[in-house]
Chain A
Amino acid sequence: MQFVIPVGIVVGIGLLSGVILTVAAKFMAVAVDETAARITEALPGANCGACGYAGCADYAGVLAADHSVAANLCTPGGNAVALAISEILGVEFEGAQAKVAIVKCSGTREKTSYSMDYQGYKNCTANKLFYRGRGTCEKACLGFGDCVKVCDYGAIYIENGIAVVDRKKCVGCGACAKVCPNLLIEIVPDNMRVVVGCSSIDKGSVTKDICSIGCIACKLCEKSCKFDAIHVENNHAIIDYTKCTNCTLCAKVCPTKVIHVHPKKPKVKAQ
C-alpha cells in the first residue's frame, strides 16, 4: 500500500491544476472581437505595414472598432481583399488603388562608375553610413540589395548594379522604400507609367560628367508638360503623380532619356 500516497499526491496536484486552469479560463476569458477576427482572416497576413498600421491584426482591430477608417488600404490584397472587408463591415466598396514601387536611379555599370573598391559590410546601409555611397554619384543606387532582402514577394532584384522592380510581382507594400538609405524607391499608383530614373542632386554639368544618363535639370520636360505635372527641384525632375496623365511627352523631349515609360498593364477587371 505504499504506492497510495505518491499516486494520490501526483493525481491530486494534476487535478487541482486542471480545475484551477479551467476556472481561470472561464472567468478570465477575453472576449475576442469576432469582426476583427474575420477581417484578420480576410487580410493576406503578410504584416507588411502598407496600410499604415503595425500589421494585419492591428489594421483589422482598427477597422472593427472604427468604421470611418478606409477599408481599401491593403495594397497587397488589392480589390479582392477590399471587397471582402467591405462585405464584413457592411460599408460601401471602394476599389483599391493598386500601387507599385519605382526606382529613381538608372545608373547601371555602363552609365556611371564606382569611385572606390568597397570592401566593408556588403549592405547598402553600411556603405552609405561610412562612405556616403560607393558610386561617383552620391544618390546612385548602391546595388547591395537591402531592398531585395526585405521584399516578401521577390519583386525587386539587382541587375547590372541597380535595383529593378518587377511590376508583375510588386504589390506596393513599400518595405523596400523604407530601407533604401538613398530614398530612391517611391510607391506610386500602378497605372502611372512614366518614371524619372534619377535623383541626382548635383548640378547638371557635374551629373553629365559622372553619369551618362543622369538628369541634367535642363527643364525641357517641365516646359513640355501640359498638365503642370513635372518640375525640376534639387537638380532633378520630379513627377507629381496626382497630375500626371501618362501622356509621355516629357519622355520624348528628355535629352538624356532618363524619363522611362513602362509598358501598359493589361487590364484586370475587379470581380
Chain B
Amino acid sequence: MTELAIIMMGAVLTNNFVLVKFLGICPFLGVSKKLDSAVGMSLAVIFVMVLATAVTYPIYMGLLARYGIEYLQTIVFILVIAALVQLVEIAMKKHLPALHKGLGVYLPLITTNCAVLGVCILNIDESYTFIQSLVNAFGAGLGFLLAMVMFSGVRQRIENNDYPISFKGVPSILVAASIMSLSFMGFAGVIDGIFGL
C-alpha cells in the first residue's frame, strides 16, 4: 500500500507531468483560460490516461516484449491510443450523451497528447506492475488537473492587472508558467519526508 501511495504522491507533486516533466504543455497553455474548461479537459485526461495504460500495458507485455520488438512501442502505442480514444468517443456519444457534452470536445484533443503517450511509456520504463501503472496514470492525471486549475487561477489574475504592453498575451503566460514550474521544484524530497524514507 505504501508503495502505491508513494507512486501516487510522486506522480502528482514531485514528478508532475506538466510542471516538472514538461509533457502536455499544449493543453496546459491552450485550455487553461477558463476554470470550467480547464477542469473538463483535466477530467478527460485522467480518464484517458488510466484507460490507455490499462490497454497498452497488456499489449506491451503480451506482444512486444514476448517477440522482442520493444523498439516499436511508440508507434504501436500511438496507434492503440488514437483508436481507443475514438472508440470511447463513439460509445460515449451513444450511451452517455450528458458526459459526452461535457468531455466530448476535449477527447479528440487528447488523442495525440504527449502526456498520455508519456505516461504509458514511462510506466514501461519504470518497470511498474499493472496495478502500479494504473495508480501512476491516475496520479499523473490528478497532477495535470492540479496544474491546470492552479494555472487558470493565475491567468485570471494576470488578465485583471495592468502590465507592460510588450508582455500582453503569450509572453506573460509563459513567464507565469515558468515561475509555477520553479515553485514545483520545491516539492523535490517532500515524498521522502512524508513517508520517512
User: A270 in the interface, Cβ–Cβ < 8 Å?
Assistant: no
Query: Judging by beta carbons under 8 Å apart, are A13 and B86 in contact?
Result: no
Binary B-proximity of A1-45 (CB < 8 A = 1, otherwise 0): 000011001100110011011001100111000000000000000
Query: Judging by beta carbons under 8 Å apart, are A20 and B87 in contact?
Result: yes
Find chain B residues with CB under 8 A from A25 CB. Answer: 90
User: A69 in the interface, Cβ–Cβ < 8 Å?
Assistant: no
Please tell me which stretch of A120-128, A229-237, A254-262 contacts chain B, meaning at least 4 of its Cβ atoms lie within 8 angstroms of it: A120-128
Query: Judging by beta carbons under 8 Å apart, are B162 and A122 in contact?
Result: yes
Given A28-B94, A122-B162, A123-B160: A13 and B79 interface contact (C-beta under 8 Å): yes
Query: Judging by beta carbons under 8 Å apart, are B90 and A13 in contact?
Result: no
Query: Judging by beta carbons under 8 Å apart, are A121 and B160 in contact?
Result: yes
Query: Judging by beta carbons under 8 Å apart, are B69 and A28 in contact?
Result: no
Find chain A residues with CB under 8 A from B162 CB. Answer: 122
Q: Could you tell me the dominant secondary structure of chain A's interface residues?
A: helix
Residue of B nearest to A20 (CB): B87
User: B195 in the interface, Cβ–Cβ < 8 Å?
Assistant: no
User: B166 in the interface, Cβ–Cβ < 8 Å?
Assistant: no
Query: Judging by beta carbons under 8 Å apart, are B69 and A5 in contact?
Result: yes
The 6 closest A-B pairs by CB, nearest first: A17-B83, A28-B94, A6-B69, A121-B160, A24-B90, A5-B67
Q: Which B residues are within 8 Å of any A CB, using their own CB?
A: 59, 63-64, 67, 69, 72, 75-76, 79-80, 82-83, 86-87, 90-91, 93-95, 97, 160-162
Q: Which A residues are within 8 Å of any B CB, using their own CB?
A: 5-6, 9-10, 13-14, 17-18, 20-21, 24-25, 28-30, 121-123, 126
